[in-house]
Structures are given as structure tokens and as C-alpha cells.
Homo-oligomer: A and B are copies of this chain.
Amino acid sequence: MVKKIVRESGARPARMPAAERRELILQAATAVFAERGYSGATTDQVAKAAHISQPYVVRMFGTKENLFLEALDRALGKLMDSFRSVIADYDAGRLAGKVALLDPDKGSSREVQLKQLMSLAYADLVQDRGILLMMMQSFIAGHEPVIGACARDGFVGIYRLVRDEAGLGEEMTRDFLAHGMLMNTLISLRLTDLYETNSAVAELLECTMGAKLPLLFASGKAG
């Protein structure tokens, strides 16, 4: 007679519908992939972060690669949704108050104002700490056959959105993306760790993030 296994030490996870669990796993995967990259992350780390067993992660997404792709898609979607809603709100006049704060003289063109607003939206996304770094990890995985292709598509999609939908034009879009990449790098590098002890770092962070710097220190807390 095999001894009946009695579940001890309470930590039994709550059951929930698959769709809901899916989102939790994607959140966990985003955080783990963001820190460790595609190769550096393990499905077990994702499972632990989602408080669930490793086999379930694999079974729900098929492969680690597919999990990464879905997390990437989710991150890209959040970024683009955020930008699109900025554009829509701006064009509907719903951001007049914010614009007045950023640009009291109202001397800037639509593009310049939109650029500032999207920078703000971008910095807001930092609070998740996963979303942006997840994308960054995909951008340097260009050599991976499938992930690389999706990353390229995603990047081009962002370029088109900023250049055409927001209407920033070539050079302004390039500069916008460049500063985004610098922000991503500073965050991923964890330069914030040196903020107190290194005045050059403090200067660079303040100069790059501007008023949005506090968001960086608060990052990681939001879901």
C-alpha cells in the first residue's frame, strides 16, 4: 500500500482560470526575462516568480521561446497602446493641462509637444521595470532566428508609430528613440545604484531623466 500523500505546509496555490494564470505568468516572465535575458532566464525562475510549478509554465506556453515571444508581444503592445493613447488624447484636446505645464509659452509645435508627452509616457512605463527591459533584451537578441525577427518587427513598428502616427518626422524620431535607448541602458545597468556615491552618475541620471528621475527609483514596485 502506497502511503497517501497528504499535502502539508499550507502553501497550496489558489486555483484560477487559465486566462488569469496566463497573465500572472506573463508578468513574472517579463520581470525575469527583463533582468536575465532570454538565455539567462530559466523556466523555473519564471515559475517561482509566478508561485507555480515549472512544468505548468512549460505546458501552458509550449516552449521557453514561445513564452518569451508572448511576453515580448505583451510588452510591445503596452508601449504602443501607451503612445497611441497619448496621441489620441492630445489630438482630442484632453491633454491641454499637461501641455500647459510642459510648455507654458505654448510656443512649441505639435510634434515637439507630442514628443515631450510621449517621453513622459515612456518614463511612466519604467515603473514596471519589466516592460522596457524586456524589449531591450529582445533588441540585443538579433541573432536568434525567431525572436530576432519579432524584435525587428517590433522595433520597426515603434519607429513607424512615432514617425507617422505621432508625426515626428525622421530626425526627431531618431532622437526620440536614441534617448529611449539610453534610458533603457541606464536602467538595465542599474546605474541608480551609484547615484549616491558617484556625482558623475547623479549628473548623467538627472540630465537624462529630468523630472522623471524619481520614477526610476520607485520602479519595481508597480505591477
User: How far, in Å, is A63 (CB) from chain B's closest CB?
Assistant: 16
Inter-subunit contact B40/A156 (CB<8 Å)? no
**Looking at the complex, which of A47-55, A84-92, A201-209 is the stretch in contact with chain B?**
A201-209
Q: Is A110 an interface residue (CB 8 A)?
A: no
Across-interface contacts of A194 in B (CB, < 8 A): 152, 156
Q: Which residue of chain B lies nearest to A179 when distances are taken between CB atoms in the complex?
A: B178
Q: Is A106 an interface residue (CB 8 A)?
A: no
A30-45 contacts to B (CB < 8 Å): 35-40
A132-171 contacts to B (CB < 8 Å): 133, 136-137, 139-143, 148, 151-152, 155-156, 159-160, 163, 170-171
Q: Is A219 an interface residue (CB 8 A)?
A: no
In the docked arrangement, what's the CA distance between A193 and B178, Å?
20
Q: How large is the interface on A (under 10, 10 to 19, 20 to 34, 35 or more residues)?
A: 35 or more
Q: Which residue of chain B lies nearest to A177 when distances are taken between CB atoms in the complex?
A: B182
**Given that A40-B37, A181-B182 are known contacts, is A152 also in contact with B200, CB under 8 Å in the complex?**
no
Across-interface contacts of A82 in B (CB, < 8 A): none
A residues adjacent to B (C-beta < 8 A): 35-40, 133, 136-137, 139-143, 148, 151-152, 155-156, 159-160, 163, 170-171, 173-175, 177-179, 181-182, 184-185, 188-191, 193-194, 198, 200-201, 203-204, 207-208
- Listed A/B pairs (10) with beta-carbon separation below 8 Å: A35-B143, A39-B40, A137-B140, A139-B188, A142-B191, A148-B189, A152-B190, A156-B201, A173-B204, A175-B178
